[in-house]
């Protein structure tokens, strides 16, 4: 770490061309193919293929004083070697030094090894010493024959992830070559200004990479294994910085476009004020805060790109409505999209009940509409007569043309796949002006802070962190499936008291047909059991119109018990429903369970959510059920979920296109992430020429998704 900091300005790795692919220096094609399997395509990839752990072969311990139960290296002369047949075939060698002796046992061995480990040979063994029947022994240690007075290595031995057909040694050699030549080329030149590395006390990149491949024996091995050594810090920082840079860069590019300026109007006669007066509740403090963040964005002449996060039931719809009004008040249209028809329909009802008294026409785009009706509605959108449109995203992607679209709202955005979401961004709709609409995305999946800072760095984030008053928390019960009878009795009671109930059928991922069949038979069974009550059924395959009709009946209280597949997961709002039964809860993910449970507890009544599970439970399923039982706060559940599954799985659809982190750990490296975040903005402002080289080095072509 002693070398002087390179001059960042003049010694760039430059364009992708200089990051030459591996292979120019005559790497055998078979090895190249193996490297590809390890996702190594360039020399830089090789240099960044950092060890997963280290072995300490830099010192030798006298056999007689070697501690037991720990990996150590010993050196001695083979005094005896024998192939033993009982209890099973094995090669046993006795090795001696001045302080004592031990046995090496090899259970799998080649004939050639019997020869190379002949008596008189001097060997070094690396392994754990244990006490066997015949005294100290090492089973299958790493064993090397020592030639002459070969000296001990000065650096710890790096151990790399390898793949079948590519040995440690081969890979190690390749990496070594690359690193040697990097002394004379710009492969590892700095891409981070010295001012920044200095501020965070980070070592030079080239030294860091060299240290991590060949750490000196002075460095405590724990610092390396735990990845807390400064050299690791530097690598992680650079990786986080690359991620921040690529996302902030795209954020800025999108942001540089023009959007209609939608001014805030708050006069007595403004739509905003008339709307607020007709509401029968006040906004929570958290809602007010996010409303003002959004409102400020809308008034800017650049497109808003904001993600609104709020737990289920936190009241995001009204926030969207207020944003839509701000557009409409400025004579711009707004569009609200939902991932399912049920949810879109519900939004349509709610928003038209709010907006029509104000004289605003709301258009409803539905998949089950007659062609003629649809044409009329599209005409109303195109002429600007209908100022608000509601529908599923699919309906918007078709031939809908807006008169003057100022704002799009995407509800439950986490439900959309990454591709869809990107298509929705900015160019999802045709309209007659060059302006880009503002965009508000809403999500009920709370995301832990560091994850959000990292993977949503290309968005501004607003958070609603409180629920409207007067909600009573939902009590969760875990019951084995064998206690179905008790559950039936409970439903009976609830319905008699005028309450409504959801029964959620198991999710069967392998087969939609099977899932449907299960839902049907559950429905029939419950319909027979509760002859005094109306039982309804809603599932994904129901035509949209029927779905809507069933939901409407449930909402009006004509249906007491609603049997549903997980289609009700998102957004459904029926305050009188206070009991939910979820079958085979062990098959569902945490966020799904949390979302489902959020359908009850929306009224003033104490609500109950019964999770039925089938034994035996897997370890992870048990853990999940424990978490959902213990916690009601969505952020806490998300945090636990992240811990259980790791960021890749946790982010679901988004992960498929996003560069995942190889070295940094969001839970442990929060401080580095904060540093990388501000460094990214500083680099974009003051060192723009370093941005591309840095991104290219760390992410290569893994940033395509952002260019959509």
Q: Which of 12, 179, 307, 312 binds ligand ADP (CB under 6 A)?
A: 312
Cβ pair 566, 502 in contact under 8 A: no
Residue 353 binds ligand ADP, judged by CB under 6 A: no
Count of H helices and E strands in the chain?
24, 24
**Could you give phi then psi for residue 369, rounded to 5 degrees?**
-65, 150
Element (H, E) at 597: helix 590-597
User: Is residue 281 a contact residue for ligand ADP (CB under 6 A)?
Assistant: yes
Q: Which of residues 582-621 bind ligand ADP (CB under 6 A)?
A: 602
Report the partner that residue 315 touches, choosing among Mg ion, ligand ADP, none (CB closer than 5 to 8 A by kind).
ligand ADP
Spatial separation of the C-alpha atoms in residues 40 and 32, rounded to whole Å: 9
Identify the residue among 287, 431, 518, 632 touching ligand ADP (CB under 6 A): 287
193 binds, among Mg ion, ligand ADP, none (CB under 5 to 8 A by kind): none
Residues within window 452-471 making contact with ligand ADP, judged by CB under 6 A: 468
Query: Closest residue (Cβ) to ligand ADP?
Result: 315
For Mg ion, which stretch binds (CB under 5 A), given 471-479, 485-493, 539-547, 570-578? 570-578
Helix (H, G, I), strand (E, B) or coil at 58: coil
**Binding residues for ligand ADP, how many (CB under 6 A)?**
17
C-alpha–C-alpha distance, residues 542 and 111, integer Å: 69
Helices (H), 428-474: 449-455
With contacts defined by CB under 5 A, name the span among 70-78, 174-182, 566-574, 686-694 that binds Mg ion. Answer: 566-574
> What length does the chain have?
708
d(CA 562, CA 500): 8
CA–CA separation, 35 and 46 (whole Å): 9
Nearest CA-CA partner of 488 in 610, 615, 335: 610
Choice between 462 and 677, CB closer to ligand ADP = 462
By CB under 5 A, name the one of 51, 158, 428, 571 that touches Mg ion.
571
CB closer to ligand ADP, 236 vs 597: 597
Rounded Cα gap, residues 432 and 423, in angstroms: 19
CB of 633 to Mg ion, least distance (A): 18
Q: Which among Mg ion, ligand ADP, none contacts residue 141 (Cβ within 5 to 8 A by kind)?
A: none
Q: Which is closer to ligand ADP, CB of 134 or CB of 281? A: 281
Helix (H, G, I), strand (E, B) or coil at 497: coil
Give the one entry of Mg ion, ligand ADP, none that residue 284 binds, where binding means its C-beta sits below a cut-off of 5 to 8 angstroms depending on kind.
Answer: ligand ADP
In angstroms, the CA 440 to CA 535 distance is 37
Residue 611: in which H helix or E strand, if any? strand 607-613
Pick one of 61, 92, 221, 283: the residue that binds ligand ADP (CB under 6 A). 283
The dihedrals phi and psi of 377, each to the nearest 5 degrees, come to -65, -45
Return d(Cα 70, Cα 72) in angstroms, integer.
6
Query: CB count, 10 Å around CB of 564?
Result: 27
Residue from 444, 459, 561, 582 binding ligand ADP (CB under 6 A) = 444
110 binds, options ligand ADP, Mg ion, none, Cβ within 5 to 8 A by partner type: none
Residue with Cβ nearer ligand ADP (468 or 657): 468
> What's the token pair of residue 282?
């006040």
* Closer residue to ligand ADP, CB minimum distance, 247 or 570: 570
Sequence-distant (6+) residues with CB within 8 A of 698 are 48, 238, 239, 241, 242, 243
Judged by CB under 5 A, the number of residues near Mg ion is 1
Alpha carbons 577 and 499: distance in angstroms, whole number: 6
**446 scored as a contact of Mg ion (CB under 5 A):** no
Tell the smallest beta-carbon distance from residue 313 to ligand ADP (Å): 5
What are the φ/ψ torsions at residue 627 (nearest 5 degrees)?
Answer: -65, -45
Q: Which of 316, 594, 597, 697 contacts ligand ADP by CB under 6 A? A: 316
Window of 103-111, 307-315, 576-584, 668-676 that interacts with ligand ADP by CB under 6 A: 307-315
Report the phi/psi class of residue 363: left, alpha or beta, with left for phi > 0 and alpha for psi in -120 to 50: beta
Nearer to ligand ADP among residue 210 and residue 441 (C-beta): 441
Q: Which of 646, 639, 287, 654 is nearest to 459 (CA)?
A: 654
The residue among 596 and 706 lying less far from Mg ion, judged by its C-beta, is: 596
Question: Using the rule CB under 6 A, is 315 a contact of ligand ADP?
Answer: yes
Is residue 284 within the footprint of ligand ADP (CB under 6 A)?
Answer: yes
Residue 73's binding partner out of ligand ADP, Mg ion, none, with CB under 5 to 8 Å set by partner kind: none
Give the closest residue to 142 by CA, choosing from 74, 79, 84. Answer: 74
Residues 6+ apart with CB under 8 A from 416: 339, 393, 410, 424, 653
The residue range among 78-86, 312-320, 423-431, 638-646 that interacts with ligand ADP, by the rule CB under 6 A, is 312-320
Q: How far is the CB of 603 from ligand ADP (least distance, A)?
A: 9
**Using CB under 5 A as the criterion, which residues of the chain lie in contact with Mg ion when the complex forms?**
571
Q: Which residues bind ligand ADP (CB under 6 A)?
A: 281, 283-284, 287, 310, 312-318, 444, 468, 571, 573, 602
């Amino acid at each position: 770490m002693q070398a002087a900091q390179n001059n960042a300005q003049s010694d760039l790795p430059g364009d992708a061309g200089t990051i030459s692919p591996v292979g120019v220096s005559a790497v055998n094609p078979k090895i190249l193919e193996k490297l590809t399997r390890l996702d190594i395509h360039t020399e830089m990839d090789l240099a960044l293929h950092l060890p997963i752990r280290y072995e300490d072969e830099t010192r030798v311990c006298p056999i007689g004083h070697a501690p037991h139960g720990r990996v150590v290296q010993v050196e001695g002369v083979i005094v005896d070697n024998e192939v033993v047949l009982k209890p099973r075939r094995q090669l046993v060698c006795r090795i001696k030094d001045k302080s004592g002796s031990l046995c090496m046992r090899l259970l799998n061995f080649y004939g050639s090894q019997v020869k190379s480990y002949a008596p008189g040979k001097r060997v070094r063994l690396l392994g754990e010493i244990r006490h066997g029947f015949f005294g100290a022994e090492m089973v299958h240690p790493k064993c090397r024959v020592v030639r002459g007075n070969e000296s001990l290595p000065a650096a710890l031995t790096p151990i790399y992830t390898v793949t079948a057909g590519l040995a440690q040694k081969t890979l190690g050699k390749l990496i070594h070559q690359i690193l040697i030549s990097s002394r004379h080329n710009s492969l590892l030149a700095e891409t981070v200004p010295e001012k920044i590395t200095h501020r965070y006390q980070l070592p030079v990149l080239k030294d860091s990479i060299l240290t991590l491949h060949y750490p000196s024996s002075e460095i405590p091995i724990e610092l390396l294994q735990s990845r807390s050594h400064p050299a690791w810090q530097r690598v992680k920082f650079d990786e986080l910085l690359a991620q921040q840079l690529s996302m902030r860069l795209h954020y800025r590019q999108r942001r540089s476009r023009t959007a209609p300026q939608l001014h805030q109007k708050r006069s007595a006669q403004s739509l905003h004020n008339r709307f607020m007066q007709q509401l029968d509740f006040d906004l929570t403090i958290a809602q007010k805060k996010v409303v003002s963040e959004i409102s400020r964005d809308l008034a800017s002449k650049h497109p808003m790109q904001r993600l609104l996060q709020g737990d289920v039931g936190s009241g995001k719809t009204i926030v969207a409505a207020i944003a839509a009004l701000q557009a409409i008040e400025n004579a711009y249209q707004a569009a609200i999209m939902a991932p399912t028809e049920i949810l879109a329909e519900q939004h349509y009802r709610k928003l038209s009940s709010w907006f029509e008294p104000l004289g605003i026409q709301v258009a409803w785009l539905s998949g089950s509409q007659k062609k003629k009706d649809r044409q009329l509605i599209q005409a109303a959108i195109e002429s600007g007569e209908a100022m608000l449109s509601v529908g599923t995203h699919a309906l918007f992607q078709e031939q809908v043309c807006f008169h003057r679209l100022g704002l799009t709202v995407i509800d439950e955005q986490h439900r959309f796949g990454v591709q869809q979401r990107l298509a929705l961004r900015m160019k999802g709709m045709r309209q007659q002006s060059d302006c880009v609409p503002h965009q508000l995305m809403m999500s009920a999946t709370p995301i832990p802070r560091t994850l959000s800072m990292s993977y949503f760095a290309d968005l501004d984030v607003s958070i609603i962190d409180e629920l409207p008053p007067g909600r009573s928390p939902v009590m969760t019960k875990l019951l084995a499936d064998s206690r179905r009878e008790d559950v039936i009795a409970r439903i009976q009671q609830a319905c008699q008291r005028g309450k409504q109930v959801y029964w959620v059928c198991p999710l069967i991922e392998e087969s939609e047909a099977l899932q449907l069949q299960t839902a049907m038979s559950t429905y029939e069974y419950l319909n027979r059991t509760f002859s005094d009550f109306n039982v309804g059924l809603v599932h994904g395959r129901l035509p949209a119109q029927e779905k809507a009709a069933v939901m409407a009946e449930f909402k009006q209280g004509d249906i007491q018990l609603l049997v549903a597949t997980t289609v009700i997961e998102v957004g459904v709002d029926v305050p009188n429903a206070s009991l939910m039964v979820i079958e085979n809860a062990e098959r569902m993910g945490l966020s799904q369970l949390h979302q489902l449970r959020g359908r009850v507890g929306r009224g003033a009544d104490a609500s109950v959510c019964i999770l039925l599970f089938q034994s035996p439970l897997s370890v992870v399923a048990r853990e999940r059920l424990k978490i959902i039982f213990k916690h009601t706060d969505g952020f806490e559940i998300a945090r636990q979920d992240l811990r259980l599954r790791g960021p890749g799985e946790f982010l679901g659809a988004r992960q498929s296109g996003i560069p995942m982190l190889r070295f940094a750990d969001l839970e442990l490296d929060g401080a580095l992430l904060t540093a990388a975040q501000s460094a990214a903005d500083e680099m974009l402002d003051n060192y723009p020429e370093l941005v591309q080289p840095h991104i290219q080095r760390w992410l290569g072509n893994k940033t395509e998704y952002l260019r959509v």
